[in-house]
Structure 1
Amino acid sequence: MISLQHLHFAYNKAVPILQDVNLELSPGRIYGLLGKNGVGKSSLMYNMCGLLFPSSGSCSVLGHTPSRRDPAFLQQVCLLPEDFEMPAMSIDQYIRLYAPFYPAFSSDAFEGHLQTFGIPRQQSLPALSHGQQKKVLISFTLATNARLILMDEPTNGLDVPSKRQFRKVIAGSLREDQSIVISTHQVKDLDSLIDEVLILEDHRIILQEAISSITEKLSFRQVMSLEETEAPIYSEGALKGYAVVAVNRKAEQSRMDMEMFFNAVMTEKEKILPLFNR
């Protein structure tokens, strides 16, 4: 569905942003694109949707080359940007103006997402807060039913209850022929939501792994003393003892802590990446 081969991107030759990025994404999955601020997550997503062009290498999305911006491609891809400015119009006017660009747009789905977020459809966009406007955009993006949905820092500006609502609408929206890529540095917001982790660091994807594979090879637990865990890879102080990431030598079942895993990879790359990179 999505294939990036040896992709390089730079705003100028002196400042490389992406180097030799190789990535294969499949339909029916939600991907979490994780990385620190400024690492190039937005640039990678913008290359996927044709707003930025690779310096070299190839990018194929849904059988199209995004940089050509063919209408048949643009109808199947929807990007939710991190920064936006809403036009001075009502929500209904917004839908009448922009929904025709997406042949599979569902008014019923849009209405359902607005209800989940508690946004009245009769509202004027300028009358909404920034967080409420973002909820409208999230609702619109999902209602397009585009085969590739890209969301750049979608939880920025959302309060805790709204982040819970966000996870709910995402989890109930994915179709078998769709891929959703969610970029964030607020890693905890993606807990229990994504199927596969992508970590961008040092200009490239350093890890791509399914959640099921991560929890098969690593265990996540709370312990009172570090002596209770044999050779933990990574640990953090918790309210009661320590939160620990360790090699899952006994095939234990544990619930993955996304933030802990990301911090562990960032801190202990030389110990964790060899477990996954084949």
Structure 2
Amino acid sequence: MIEIQNISFKYAGTSRYIFKDFDLKLEENRIYGLLGKNGTGKSTLLYLISGLLRAMNGSIVFDGLETSKRCPDTLSEIFILPEVFKLPKVSLVNYVKMNRGFYKNFSDEILNNCLRDFELTTDIHLNELSMGQAKKAFMSFALATNTKLLLMDEPTNGLDIPSKSQFRKVVAGNMTEDRTVIISTHQVHDIEQLLDHILMLEGKELKLNASVSDICDKYKFEYRTPDDMADILYAEPTLQGNAVIAPRGNSEETPLNLELLFNAVTKGAINTK
């Protein structure tokens, strides 16, 4: 669905490459978690995929067309929800009227369902909302565009604890067989139950590219006492005991601990190849 081939990119006036000869292939009907330390290029990659930034070389192809060409057919199937945004001083109804025409599969049903799940009404005025409410309203519109590709940059920032739970429910409830969602975030606990696939960026390269099912087939995530550490690959002390990653072997599957996995990968404690 999305094929990134040999791209390089740096911002004008700088000498440091964010990406150099970078390759990645993404499939449809997946929710990807895009993780990495500050400055590794997570947001930049989303903007490159959307076509809002253009690579210096290489190509990014979505449904057979290069996104950098900004073709109307391509743009109607891509929506990016940035971390920081400013909505106009209009009602939601008028905002929808002004923008729905750009998205050929826009769904009023999805919009109304998302607003309901976020405990918002259709008669809201965008300039009168708190940051969290504005994010939920914009997220509802983003999902209602019904695009094949939805890119989200730090979507849970500014949301309270109940709203983060609502976010997971809303995104999961509006996945379709031909939709791909890429979520860039530092708030790994907010999304780890939602993801199908993990991407980790580090130093201009992809440090990890694996499905959640493959990770959980290979490793187990659990808490152990100090006298039960013989086979561990990585461990961190916590109030519940040592949080560890160990080979799963024939034991039962455990829930993914995404923060622990991220720390283990960035410290080179587990083999990601």
TM range (shorter): over 0.9
Within a 5 Å distance, the mapping from 1:1-278 to structure 2 comes to 1-12=1-12, 14-225=15-226, 227-267=227-267, 269=268, 271-272=269-270, 274=271, 276-277=272-273
User: How far 1:164 moved relative to its partner?
Assistant: 0.6
What do the CA deviations read for 1:192-215 (whole angstroms, capped 9, x no partner)? Answer: 101000001101212110001101
What do the CA deviations read for 1:166-204 (whole angstroms, capped 9, x no partner)? Answer: 000011111101111001111111121010000011012
User: How far 1:240 moved relative to its partner?
Assistant: 2.5
- 1:9 is aligned with what amino acid? F
Mapped to 1, the partners of 2:251 and 2:57 lie a distance apart of 43
What do the CA deviations read for 1:249-276 (whole angstroms, capped 9, x no partner)? Answer: 3443111111111111112x2x42x3x4
Large movers: runs of 4+ above 4 Å = none
Matched residue pairs, number? 272
> Does the 8 Å CA contact 1:150/1:182 hold for their aligned counterparts?
yes
Q: Which consecutive unaligned segments of at least 5 residues does structure 1 have?
A: none
Mapped to 1, the partners of 2:133 and 2:47 lie a distance apart of 24
State the TM-score, normalizing by the size of structure 1.
0.95
State the TM-score, normalizing by the size of structure 2.
0.96
**2:17 match: secondary structure:** strand
- 2:111 is aligned with what amino acid? F
Mapped to 2, the partners of 1:37 and 1:135 lie a distance apart of 25
Mapped to 2, the partners of 1:133 and 1:245 lie a distance apart of 38
Mapped to 1, the partners of 2:247 and 2:20 lie a distance apart of 30
> Does the 8 Å CA contact 1:187/1:262 hold for their aligned counterparts?
no
- 1:240 is aligned with what amino acid? Q
Mapped to 2, the partners of 1:75 and 1:124 lie a distance apart of 25
**1:156 match: secondary structure:** coil
- 2:174 is aligned with what amino acid? S
> Does the 8 Å CA contact 2:207/2:265 hold for their aligned counterparts?
no
User: How far 1:100 moved relative to its partner?
Assistant: 1.0
Mapped to 2, the partners of 1:152 and 1:125 lie a distance apart of 20
User: How far 1:149 moved relative to its partner?
Assistant: 0.5
What do the CA deviations read for 1:123-166 (whole angstroms, capped 9, x no partner)? Answer: 11111001100001111111111001101111111111111100
Mapped to 2, the partners of 1:184 and 1:89 lie a distance apart of 29
Mapped to 1, the partners of 2:203 and 2:189 lie a distance apart of 22
What do the CA deviations read for 1:45-101 (whole angstroms, capped 9, x no partner)? Answer: 111010000111121112111111000100010000111001000010111011111
Mapped to 2, the partners of 1:37 and 1:95 lie a distance apart of 34
Mapped to 2, the partners of 1:120 and 1:136 lie a distance apart of 9
- 1:172 is aligned with what amino acid? G
Mapped to 1, the partners of 2:251 and 2:225 lie a distance apart of 21
- 1:99 is aligned with what amino acid? R
Mapped to 1, the partners of 2:240 and 2:10 lie a distance apart of 46
Mapped to 1, the partners of 2:233 and 2:138 lie a distance apart of 40
Mapped to 2, the partners of 1:210 and 1:240 lie a distance apart of 27
Mapped to 2, the partners of 1:124 and 1:59 lie a distance apart of 37
Identity %: 42
